[in-house]
Structure 1
Amino acid sequence: MLLFLDYYNLSLFLGGLVAILSGAAVYFSNHRKPENIAWMFLNISTAVWSFGYFGMLTRGNAHDALISNWILHAGAILIPIFYFAFVIALTKTASKHREVFYLLVPTAVYFLLVNTSSDFVRMVLPKGPLAFAPDAGPLYIYFTVYFFATVIYALTILAENVRRAIGQDALRLKYVLFSSLFGFTGGGFVFFLTFNVQIAPYPIILFTFYPMIIAYAMLRHKLFDVKVAATEILTGAIWIALLFRILLSDNPNEQIMSGVLLFLMIIFGTLLIRSVYKEVKQREQIQKLAEELALANKGQEELIHTVSHEVKGGLAQAGAAFAAIIEDDYIGNPEAMKSMLREALRGNKEEVARLEQTLMAFNPRLGTEAYDMQEFDFKEALLETTAHLKPEADAKHLALEVRADETEKFFIKGDRAKIASRVLHNLIENAILYTPSGTITVSLSKKDGKILLEVKDSGVGITPEDNAALFTKGGRGKDAMKVNAHSTGNGLYLAKVIVEKHGGKIWAESEGAGKGATFFVELPAK
């Protein structure tokens, strides 16, 4: 039995210690980020539960163990709500799940109020390998449902965002999801003995692995700054070791000396953390400037190459038209000359539009320029743009259809010219260009104060690899040039910048190559 007690005591004490250090390290690395604040409160609650359980197991009598039980349950009641807050902050879905959070707050407050009641926990008794364990009262089953329902709901949100995320964001969320499953599996096993199910909480050591997995994510994927976190964890460990030395010592002189040493270590440790934090920030700024310089140099090269190509193409086309007139190719045939000039003018306008698009994409002030924010009818702008592009669809024998509720108002506040020319025109024109045959359906709907535009085509489709690059500067699919030889890869990037400037979001979905694609734009309705 002593072996089990040593195992449980060590697991709980180590888990609580690492929770405090992990919470502090993340919070002080950037105390303004909502997810860091929620993470700190989650770890404080976890530490209260862990040290409370440790205290209950090591008490010498039932009365003291019961008091420790009240402490551990105070932490346990708050763990689900702070975990939920951490997940919605990390996944940027707080606005979507705000109502659920507001419902959890009074629920948690209620359980805190009844925590010391015998209806919640009747008493603490020796159970299995534990010296003391809670014995569930009639209200405890409702607390169990609250605990696991909240955690499972939060894990569902996390898993859904793991599926949607890409790159480093996906890896970060995967590690959080994986470590959460470890932590709640290990800690959740203590519920069995509380309900007198004779299953000892052997996996409780998994609870200790939870911050270890997060630490691995820190090292491998820069989940939080490694150098700052390592300094804070080391300093915190020294502080806690000195504090325990004071508490466990029976010699007053030794306690005084340890207290003075602890005081000095707190001062110097704080100065050390600040120094490291300042150094890390300076290093990050230098690295950021170096990356921006490299990006600017690359952008300059791309800009020169693209502009020279577009300018030469436009001048060559104009030169051919003028040469044909000078050489009297169209004498006696004015209608043919007009047709040739109209085609040359159309091509010239397209070249100018592509050149303007390229210059905008490489503009260092992109996203910071002035916007003429006025209230306007989004549906009206959509219908005008569609009517303007319909001849292009007709020329390819494509069916271009617009679906919008005639009785609904679709007003937004924004820059009408930029929305129409850089977002609506770009999306519909792309659908026409990348659809060899079939239909293009443009739908407009309104729900929950949001306007949703969908541009669905039956065209070439998008592979997952191409989708990841679509809305980036110069982002093109690997076969895009085969379909559209004049693609700059900047149209969707500009559309994304403009949509986000209006407080909206833009994305694309496709089942794969050859299966068509749907582009979505969501904007706040006025």
Structure 2
Amino acid sequence: MIADLLHNVTALSFFEWGQGVVGLMLVLFGLVIFAQDVSKRRGRYFLYLALIIFAWAIANIALDAAPDPSVAHQSIVALFIIVEFVPLILFSFYYVFQKKGESVSWWRVIGVFAPYFGVLGALYFVPELIAGTPSVYQENSVGHTFGRFVGVYLGYIAVFLSLTLYVLIDKYRTSTGIFRLQTRNMIVAFGVGVVLALILAFMLFFFRALSVHNIFLIGFISIIPNVLIMGYTLIKYNFWSAYIIFAEFLTALLVMTLAAVLFIQTSFLGIFLVGTLTVLVTIAGFFLVQKIRKGDATHDEIARLSNELKSMSARLDILDKKKTEFLSMVSHHLRDPLTAIKGYSSMLLEGSFGELSSMVHDAVDKMFNSSSRLIMMISDFMDIANIESGDMKYFLTRVNMKKLVAEVVDDMQSATRTGGLELDLIIDDYHQEDYAVVADQGKMHQVILSIIDNSIKYTPYGSISVKLSLSENKKNVLFRITDTGIGMSEVTLQKIFKKFSRADGVNKTYTEGVGLGLYVAKKIIEKHQGRVWAESQGEGAGSSFFVEIPRAPEEKISVV
């Protein structure tokens, strides 16, 4: 009988063999899921379900290959016993899935398993009560008659499936967020299995092919999508790496396939070659999985650090905004009293309140100069606050740069003479309209004044040359300041236009600056669609600053 069974097994069709292959692949999938599940609770029940489906496939194959009614009857009894496990395992999986880490009481376990063992005992000791008797089998199973108590068996399955659906719906109603999505997928998996089973059963009934064999085949086909969706949900919402699971599954499949090929080898050479290949694939697969695990862990760490950086960046943006608001408020309140001090100092120096002695005059002059520097510094702070908050207003008009530069240079002559410096102005011979630009006149005056003042501060002796010309393509006005001052290193050139940045060692030469003037000038020029940069041959070799802005194409006035 066994020989006949094996002969019939080898003669099975591809579809009938496919059941076993699918069942085996589900077992491998279950093992991979079990290995990923740290708690081993849901993964354990998922593996149990995969093993039951594999046993289901083997029993289906045995029924297909049954050489006589006795073997067919034993296969059907086995199928009844195996299928009885499915609703039990499904209920257990979904119950554990719902309860997460909660422990399950023994009374509930006994209540769940007691009916199963009752039905199992009936199937084992008195199979004809449910599965029927061998005498009713013909050469095929179409005319098969079930036992008198098959309704109890079907009722048992229906009760457990109903309880499973109740557990899922209750979980869906009470859960939120990601747990609600998980439960939704589980309900979909359950529904897909039931709907598929009903459709297949109706089709077989319509074509009058609803035999006992086909009924079990319908159940087998219907449970597959259910298991796949369950596995997908476990992988996705437990944040397991799909790459690792795929690599582990593929490695296990290759090793098992090679092991099967090794088992049927009869020659020593075949055993040696296939055995060697199996060992090599096992080792390579192990290192591949470890490599993917390491890469996945690195990816997770990078993602975690990236999220932390984003969070820190968001907090820093908030702090920077609050800092800007505080800076603007403080600068505004400081400038008012300083403006009053500067105004009254100027009136005192002009003699508006009577003649001053030389000693008082010197003191008031120092007061006037100090308040002027403080007002300029506070203006820079306010400009930064307005630039960063986007509140800086630009009143654009047609500005004659030739006239504006000449005025600024003339105003700065007294400061350079006091310091023993020469300040020269060179303007290329073009018509004054050729130096017209569309700009905010006050802001451009501020930029030119700031850059010339910067050169005066860092030029202890020598000269400063201011040159106004057009660019080579005649499309831009080029403003250049060259001094014989302390010069700049390459490192300083890279940071000189950054906020609160000063050249290395300048504190020995000029102690009052904070590194804001050039930063503000750069932002203003960029808003005018121009550019500003600096050049230097090195420390002690002087510096050159350049400002380039587009020439005005036509008369225009606007506010931005």
TM range (shorter): 0.3 to 0.5
Between Structure 1 and Structure 2, whose CA radius of gyration is higher?
2
TM-score, normalised relative to structure 2: 0.44
